[in-house]
Amino acid sequence: MTGTNNKRRKLVLIGNGMAGINALEQILKLTNAFEITVYGEEPYPNYNRIQLSYVLEGSKTIDDIILNSREWYEENGIALHTGTKVARIDTAAKRVHTEAGDNAAYDVLIIATGSKPFVLPIPGADKKGVIGFRDIADCEAMIGAAGRVKQAAVIGGGLLGLEAAKGLVQLGMDTTVVHLMDTLMERQLDQTAAGLLKAELERQGIKFRMGAKTVEVLGGAEASGLRFEGGEELDAQLVVMSAGIVPNAELAKASGIETGRGIKVNDYMQTSAPDVYAVGECCEHRGVCYGLVAPLFDQGAVLAKTIAGANTAPYEGSSVSTKLKISGVDVFSAGEYLDAPDHRVLRIHDDWRGVYKKVLLRGNQIVGAVMYGDVKDAPLLTRLVREGDAMTDELYADLFGGGSGCCGGGGTKSSAVQSMADEEIVCGCNGVTKGDIVRVIREDGLSTVDQIKVKTGATRSCGGCKPLVEQLLQFVLGDEFQAKEETKQGICGCTDCTRDEIVAAIREKHLTNVREVMAVLDWRQPEGCSKCRPALNYYLGMAWPTEHEDERDSRFVNERLHANIQKDGTYSVIPRMYGGVTTSDQLRQIADAADKYGAKMVKVTGGQRIDLLGIAKEDLPAIWEELGMPSGYGYAKALRTVKTCVGNRFCRFGTQDSIGMGVLLEQKFERLWMPAKFKMAVNGCPRNCAESGTKDLGIVGNDGGWEVYVGGNGGIRMKEAELLCKVKSDEELVDICGAFIQYYRETGNYAERTSDWLERIGLEQVRKLVIEDAENRKALIARVETALAKLQDPWREVVESGKLQQAYYHRIEVARD
Amino acid sequence: MSVQTQRAYRAVGPLLAFPVGAGKEVRIGTLELAVFRTSDGGVFALENRTPHRKGGPLAEAIVSGHYIYCPLRDLKISLRDGMVQEPDTGQARTYPVKIEDGCVHIEVPE
């Protein structure tokens, strides 16, 4: 706009939240003509307010929901003042004054002060323990109250109130939602959907008091309960006010800018004062104040173009849709949601599947929708309602199943994305537009959701827009997309080859190092990435155990250095203690080494071993030498430990020598590289004290022999191990273990634990090849023996090799004059 | 941004001390660097600190071409300019390197 003038104009933003920062991001995409200053009251950089409920629920941390790090502000040359409140705007002198007494001039001012919870005007509302649910401080207050507070009340059964209540239940509080109306979320849901929702939330532990008007908060200085109209009372030491929001318009109002409920703006987000704009929940557009995220992106786009001097269509309001963010509860609504006499109502309600879907038409025009249970059509319906599209036979078939498909997923759904405008937001969390996504598909040749996630960030946060991104891929690539999705699932972005194709090529073409594999299979990135390099190194070692030279530089740090890197850059050292058995001499040695090398902590691990934490990298070879024990592989995709119970050597219940067997198995299979970490246990009797049920390979002794359990997992996805077979003799047991391990090594995907592997391959198949087919078992055992023959203790190798120490453990120090 | 500080090349050791395809930690006084020698013979120096807000070292990264993968959180970082690749953001500080008489020299503030 001021093309010849080098002086950059001053842009001041009041409000460091999603609306304001999104507007800045859009402005920065268009122009760098501004010198930008941001004032925020909260002490944090911009975070994803929508995801506060995840923080409360415990599934995300505050760090996880930060959208723009402080570095982002720096990189974009933005001066950020957090914890700073603007007290006054002088619209005549074009200057803002902070509460602390500073002031700054502006050429353009954006107000994005958001909204605050509506606090009921009742006695006691100012007591301690009465809070809103709006920002990180509220979240922290609720988390802080956990343990101290037994009963909590949430006033308001709307979107935010329910999310807060779920969080409080999760924090262990007896939580009651107090709602004025008889149905929940009455501004988004009809009675049927609200009823389904309430039943589900009750199942999840939330209590409800419906049709209750709160007239007083009881208690002394601190809240102790609520009193309702009619005199009934409810005990609650924490009260969350969630009965609506109020735009933060006081600053604007006090500065003489025209306000109604919010700061009044026209279709270009201009306020009544010259060069002052407002955006987001603080503003009022055509009489409407929005409290959801989608409109602020729409508004931000218009605002950015207006300020940058680009052409833009006027903002004409947003059609809003709602999704509740509680794990395991899917509700959605868009547009009109209550049946009226002039509506045609399309509805399915299936109590068996717990699914409810309703679409409202006026004439043929789609004007609203409500869904519960299955919300995969949410993006499509959002779109249809916003555009006021007409219902057609094809659409009906898509939404309600029609003649062909059974669940309404039959037809092609490109129609919904086809008519979207390029600047329309697809990913609300990261502000990615349709145009952005279409461009990377066309120009960068991307063909999967994952690639698009990496490039643009879309689907990265809540994942809600994944169906839309898939539809865009379908729309842009057509049949090519189907073909690519079905046949081409390469192991990483460097190749289209699957794991099986790669292993086949390694075997057939006799490839023996990583570089060869990449060259022969036409890797897109000549030296691969952190996903494929370690995987290839494993497959090569598995296929050619005697020929392949392990490639250290293709291993992750832990397996390269044979110690576990910690977040501060120090390492943990876990020496091997077979079967979890140690001696007093060994303990003294460990204690001395811990002292000598300044271990920050000494801890017993979950697998019955001793862990020395906080060891410096350059001390690793020396501490290993001092310990004189082999590596315990507590860092590797290999056998971690064989956990044992005391067994018949001491235990009065023991029927088998679990310690003897555990030591034998650990000595036999230690150091063997596996697709993923591998945990074992041996128990001397069915009491199962060493917990075989959650191990990759768990053994339970009884009077007549051993039972072998496989595929258990106690980690991210709990899974109980399944009985593979029963054997009578120790020799047979060792054979079966060897054959099972080798079969897993040969067929597992890199990083695939036995629990997932077993699900994929099937127990029957494993039984057939490892137990029933004796010939095959013999061959598997022979191959595992070959692989085992070559292995040596890696710590000893480093202790004895000055070259390895020099290359991987020593640092170079240069004095500074 | 334009504050002038005195910078000078410091010899940090023979090229042979830097294994190809791996990182090496180099300390010059209190300055901690991660130095990488790539398969094409290049040598690059970064501050030994991931741009990720939770911190951690870089010297133990996996090296691929002119990129490294941060050992703690797998950020992909360019060795040329320290830029973190999409979708992550940030930039690691880089230091100019020259090789003279088989010796690696890194330019650091005096």
Q: List chain B residues with CB under 8 Å of A75.
A: 89, 91
Residue A160: HSE in the Cβ half-sphere, 13 Å Cα cutoff: 23
- Same domain membership, residue A680 and residue A648: yes
Is the per-residue pLDDT at A487 higher than 50?
no
The average pLDDT across A345-362 equals: 87
| Residue type at position A735 | D
Output phi, psi for A718, to 5 deg: -60, 130
B22 and A808 within 8 Å at the Cβ level: the answer is: yes
Split into its structural domains, chain A has a count of 5
CATH number at residue A290: 3.50.50.60
A803 touches chain B (CB under 8 A): no
Answer for the pair A271, A285: CB distance below 8 angstroms, yes or no: no
Is A803 inside any structural domain?
no
Q: Which residue in A71, A75, A529 is closest to B69 by CB distance?
A: A529
Whether this model's ipTM surpasses 0.85 comes out as yes
Closest listed residue to residue A570, CA positions, set B57, B69, B21: B57
Residue of B53, B55, B69 lying closest to A69 (CB–CB): B53
Shortest alpha-carbon distance between residue A815 and chain B (Å): 5
Q: How many CB atoms lie within 10 A of CB A278?
A: 33
Q: Is residue A284 part of a domain?
A: yes
Same domain, A169 and A55: no
pLDDT at A396: 87
Across the interface, whether the CB atoms of B86 and A454 are under 8 A apart is answered: yes
A195-229 in b/e form (b: 16+ CB < 10 A) is ebbbebbeeeebbbbeebebebbbbeeebbbbbbe
Give the confidence band of A85 by pLDDT, cuts at 50, 70, 90.
very high
Domain-located, residue A316:
no
- In terms of domains, do A650 and A578 share one? no
Q: Which fold has domain B7-109?
A: Rieske Iron-sulfur Protein (2.102.10)
Q: Which DSSP category does A691 fall into?
A: -
For residue B26, the distance in angstroms to the closest alpha carbon of chain A comes to 5
Residues A267, A134 share a domain: no
Count of CB atoms situated within 10 Å of the CB of A648: 18
**Contact across the interface for A812 and B10, Cβ inside 8 Å:** no
User: Which residues in chain B touch residue A529, judged by CB atoms under 8 angstroms apart?
Assistant: 62, 64, 69, 76
Does the residue A459 lie in any domain?
Answer: no
- Whether residues A525 and B60 touch (CB distance < 8 A) is answered with no
Could you tell me which residues of A are annotated as the binding site? 645, 651, 685, 689
Residues A611 and A747 in one domain: no
Q: Which of A185, A181, A142 is nearest to A162 (CA)?
A: A185
What's the rounded mean pLDDT across residues A464-488? Answer: 72
Closest to A743 in 3D by CA, of A715, A778, A792, A699: A778
In a domain, A32, yes or no: yes
pLDDT tens digits along A282-327? 999 998 888 877 788 889 999 999 999 888 889 988 777 777 767 6
For A778, the token pair is 């013999």
In whole angstroms, how far apart are CA A665 and each of A182, A499, A611, A632, A737? Answer: 64, 29, 21, 14, 8
Cα A528 from Cα A571, distance rounded (Å)? 27
What is the structure's pLDDT at B27? 94
Nearest-Cα distance to chain B for A385, in Å, is 32
Which residues constitute the domain of residue A615? Answer: 558-627
DSSP structure string for A576-603 = --GGG---HHHHHHHHHHHHHTT-SEEE
Angle between helices A136-145 and A159-170 (to 10 degrees): 40
Q: Which residues of A touch B40 (CB under 8 A)?
A: none
Statement to judge: residues A73 and A136 lie in one domain: no
Q: Of A243, A263, A289, which closes a domain? A: A243
Task: Please check whether residue A561 touches B, CB under 8 A.
Answer: yes
Report residue B8 as tokens. 């000078």
DSSP tag of A809: I
Taking only the tens place, the pLDDT of each residue in A113-144 is 999 888 899 999 999 999 998 888 898 889 88
A585: domain CATH number is: 3.90.480.10
User: Chain B residue with minimal CA distance to A808?
Assistant: B24
What residue has token string 């729309």? A475
* Alpha-carbon span A343 to A391, nearest angstrom: 13
Q: What is the mean pLDDT of the segment spanning A457-482?
A: 78
Give the 3-state secondary structure of residue A746.
helix
How far is the C-alpha of A587 from the C-alpha of A566, rounded, in Å? 24
User: What pLDDT band is residue A465 in, cutting at 50, 70 and 90?
Assistant: confident
CB contact under 8 A, B27 and A812: yes
Say how far apart CA A589 and CA A414 lie, in whole Å: 68
Q: pLDDT-based confidence at B93, cuts 50/70/90?
A: very high
Binding-site annotation: residue ranges of A for siroheme: 689
- Substitution target in A469, A553, A618 with the highest count of B β-carbons within 10 Å is A553
Q: Are B63 and A553 in contact (CB under 8 A)?
A: yes
Which residue type sits at A639? L
Q: What pLDDT band is residue A160 in, cutting at 50, 70 and 90?
A: confident
Does A517 share its domain with A542?
yes
Q: At what angle do helices A434-443 and A466-477 cross, to 10 degrees?
A: 50
Cα–Cα distance for residue pair B24/B33, rounded to 1 Å: 8
- The rounded percent of chain A whose pLDDT value lies above 90 is 60
* H-run or E-run covering A368: strand A365-372
Same domain membership, residue A263 and residue A136: no
Cβ <8 Å between B71 and A556: yes
Task: Report if residue A759 sits inside a domain.
Answer: yes
Contacts of A565 in chain B (CB under 8 A): 60, 71-72
Q: Count Cβ–Cβ pairs < 8 Å, chain A vs chain B.
A: 103
User: Looking at the structure, do residues A100 and A39 belong to the same domain, yes or no?
Assistant: yes
* Claim to verify: residue A678 and residue A651 sit in the same structural domain: yes
> Measured between beta carbons, which residues in chain A are less than 8 angstroms from residue B69?
529-530
Are residues A522 and A580 located together in one domain of the fold? no
Q: How far apart are the first and last CA of chain A?
A: 52
Q: Are A184 and A162 in contact (CB under 8 A)?
A: yes
Tell me the backbone φ, ψ of residue A161, rounded to 5 degrees: -60, -45
Write out the binding residues of A for [4Fe-4S] cluster: 645, 651, 685, 689
CA distance B18 to chain A (A): 7
Q: Give the start-to-end residue ranges of the domains of chain B.
A: 7-109
Residues of chain B with C-beta less than 8 angstroms from the C-beta of A453? 87
pLDDT tens-digit profile of A162-187? 989 988 998 889 999 999 999 998 88
CA-CA distance, A359 to A377, in Å (whole number)? Answer: 11
CA-to-CA distance for B75 and A710, rounded, in angstroms? 35
Residues in A touching B61 (Cβ below 8 Å): 557
- Residue A469 falls inside a structural domain: no
Same domain assignment for residues A62 and A126: no
pLDDT at B2 over 80: no
Residue of B nearest to A807 (CA): B19
**Helix (H) / strand (E) containing A558:** helix A557-561
B53 touches chain A (CB under 8 A): yes
**Residue B88 confidence (pLDDT) above 90:** no
Of residues A155 and A817, more confidence is placed in: A155
Closest Cβ opposite residue A553 in set B11, B21, B65: B21
Using CB atoms, which residue from B19, B63, B87 is nearest to A457? B87
